[in-house]
């Protein structure tokens, strides 16, 4: 299997006889080109950013996800974009974890957060779903809550009645720079988590320091697939 070959090559390169542990990075979102630019898809956007940086093709269809395997921060990693629809993300994450025997603490989840201001990034080692239906599905289906997670702030609409339309819409032009920078910083946090561990990554990601904007993130149009394109109410 392609992934087992990757792990085997890492064992040989490291010169030890132990199986190299696999890490999973699951960015949540809704599948299909129509949803690619939506606020609700910042998890997918972060996986796309990581894939671009590390030359990983997230194109293999398995376990209800599009996936790509590579090495980031010296760790064997599987990047995943569940294709079940946001509100059923747990079905894909459960199957990926079971297929590759990956525990929750080595499964990082990335998703949008209405309760964080636009552009803010927060990382935690574990916790509740906080009202996010994608993470809620993962916790419910897998029976575990100790997933490292990165929340990418998208802010709230003026009216609570507009939440679904808000998350299922693209960022406005004047929001794009802050959103792109947040995606890059979320990707930075993933890299640090893999290279240095959760404590170092949380410390850096949660510091809240302002960073100079960089070039815009290039959007990768998502492959069309069937799924339940649910919007998280976050309440």
CATH number (domain holding residue 35): 3.40.50.1470
Note whether 25 and 108 are within 8 A (CB): yes
Residue 225 lies in a domain: no
pLDDT of residue 20: 72
Q: In whole angstroms, what is the distance from residue 89 CA to residue 147 CA?
A: 14
Using the structure block, give the residue that is written with the tokens 């490291």: 14
Residue 64 lies in a domain: yes
Comparing CA positions, the residue from 113, 111, 144 lying closest to residue 126 is: 144
pTM as predicted: 0.83
What residue numbers bound the domain in which 150 lies?
A: 2-205
Model confidence over 8-63: pLDDT tens digits? 444 433 444 445 799 999 999 999 999 999 999 999 999 999 999 999 999 999 99
Note whether 170 and 41 are within 8 A (CB): no
Residue 214 lies in a domain: no
207 membership: H or E segment, kind and range: none
Q: In whole angstroms, what is the distance from residue 217 CA to residue 83 CA?
A: 22
pLDDT below 70 — which residues of the chain? 1-19, 208-235
pLDDT of residue 160: 75
Secondary structure (3-state) at 143: coil
Residue 234 lies in a domain: no
Residues tagged active-site = 40
Q: Residue 112's beta-bridge partner residues?
A: 152
Residue 211 lies in a domain: no
Q: Number of structural domains, the chain?
A: 1
Residue 76 lies in a domain: yes
Q: In whole angstroms, what is the distance from residue 46 CA to residue 183 CA?
A: 5
Residue 141 lies in a domain: yes
């Amino acid at each position: 299997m392609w992934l087992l070959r990757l792990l085997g090559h890492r064992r040989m390169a490291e010169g030890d006889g132990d199986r190299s542990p696999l890490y999973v990075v699951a960015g949540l979102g809704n599948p299909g080109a129509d949803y690619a630019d939506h606020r609700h898809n910042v998890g997918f956007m972060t996986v796309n950013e990581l894939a671009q940086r590390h030359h990983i093709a997230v194109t293999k269809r398995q376990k209800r996800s599009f996936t790509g395997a590579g090495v980031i921060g010296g760790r064997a990693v599987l990047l995943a974009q569940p294709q079940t629809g946001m509100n059923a993300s747990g079905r894909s994450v459960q199957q990926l974890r079971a297929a590759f025997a990956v525990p929750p603490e080595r499964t990082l989840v990335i998703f949008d957060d209405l309760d964080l201001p636009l552009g803010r990034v927060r990382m935690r080692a574990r916790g509740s779903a906080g009202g996010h239906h994608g993470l809620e599905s993962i916790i419910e289906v897998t029976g575990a809550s100790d997933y490292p997670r990165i929340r990418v702030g998208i802010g709230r609409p003026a009216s609570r009645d507009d939440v679904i339309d808000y998350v299922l819409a693209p960022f406005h032009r004047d929001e794009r720079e802050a959103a792109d920078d947040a995606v890059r910083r979320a990707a930075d946090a993933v890299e640090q988590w893999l290279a240095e561990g959760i404590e170092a990554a949380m410390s850096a990601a949660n510091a809240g320091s302002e960073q100079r904007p960089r070039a815009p993130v290039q959007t990768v149009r998502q492959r069309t697939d069937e799924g339940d394109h649910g919007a998280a109410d976050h309440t």
